[in-house]
Amino acid sequence: MNEHYFAALREILAQGLPVTIEVSIAAMLIAIAGGLVLGVLRALRNPVLDTVIIAYVEILRGIPLLVLMFFVFFGLPQLGFHFAEVPSAIIALGLWGAANGTEIVRGAIFSISAGQSEAGAALGLNWLQVMVHVILPQALRRMIPPFMSLFVATVESSSLAALIGVKDIVEIVRLRVENDPALWIPLLVSILFLYFFINYPISVASQKLEKRLA
């Protein structure tokens, strides 16, 4: 039993962990980029844009991430879009992350006092100049702790990718226990700690940063 466990552990760390991390980072990049674009667009306060963006955010946050992943992987092929497991997971996680990212960016931008944009405008700066030189430099600092929390949530949510076949940490455990059910407990406990050791430091750092920025 022992060799089975260590072999499984090696596979988890050597193959599952990189997949989990890669999927999470790729999704996070989409989330940050998408969040920045949509969040800044919300700052325009254009009613049409706002409605579209709000609809996107509410829908993406109102459905379970799992359902979204299933839809992208199993459902889209029917409509002509075929994505493999890993891209499907990244797309679903990315879309979900971008919805959350939009709220983070919007919250940060709107938390900058109105006097700042007033002063910028009074100096003759146009909307884009005010956003780039005055608002965003201040808002970006406030976005960091929530984005760190989002990363923790993304790593946790990446475990759902196992349910569409992505060979991440959870999936490898599942495959290994099919041969040897006695491995359930040791492997589950091991990956619980693995996820914990990845996420806890980031959570703590995020909390400390948040206190310092307050």
CB of 44 to other proteins, least distance (A): 16
- Total residues belonging to the chain: 214
Q: Are 111 and 135 in contact (CB under 8 A)?
A: no
Q: How many CB atoms lie within 10 A of CB 201?
A: 11
Residue among 65 and 109 whose Cβ is closer to other proteins:
65
* Cβ proximity to other proteins, 15 vs 199, nearer residue: 199
Spatial separation of the C-alpha atoms in residues 169 and 157, rounded to whole Å = 12
Query: Measured from the CB atom, is 36 or 171 closer to other proteins?
Result: 171
Q: Which residues contact 181 (CB under 8 A, 6 or more apart)?
A: none
Tally Cβ neighbours within 10 Å of residue 183. 20
Question: Cβ 202 to other proteins, closest distance in Å?
Answer: 8
Instruction: Work out how close the CB of 181 gets to other proteins at its nearest, in angstroms, rounded to a whole number.
Output: 7
Rounded distance between C-alpha atoms, residue 103 and residue 162, angstroms:
27
Residue 32 C-beta: closest distance to other proteins, Å: 20
Closest by Cα among 165, 164, 149, 166 to 103: 149
Buried b (16+ CB within 10 A) or exposed e, 144-181: bbbbbbbbbbbbebbbbbbebebbbbbbbbeebbeeee
* Distance of closest approach, residue 23 Cβ to other proteins, in angstroms: 13
CA distance 29 to 148: 12
CB of 199 to other proteins, least distance (A): 4
The residues that touch other proteins, with contacts defined as CB under 8 A, are: 59, 62-68, 70-71, 74-76, 78-79, 113, 115-116, 118-126, 129, 133-134, 137-138, 152, 155-160, 162-163, 170, 173-174, 177, 181-182, 184-185, 188-189, 191-192, 195-196, 199-200, 203
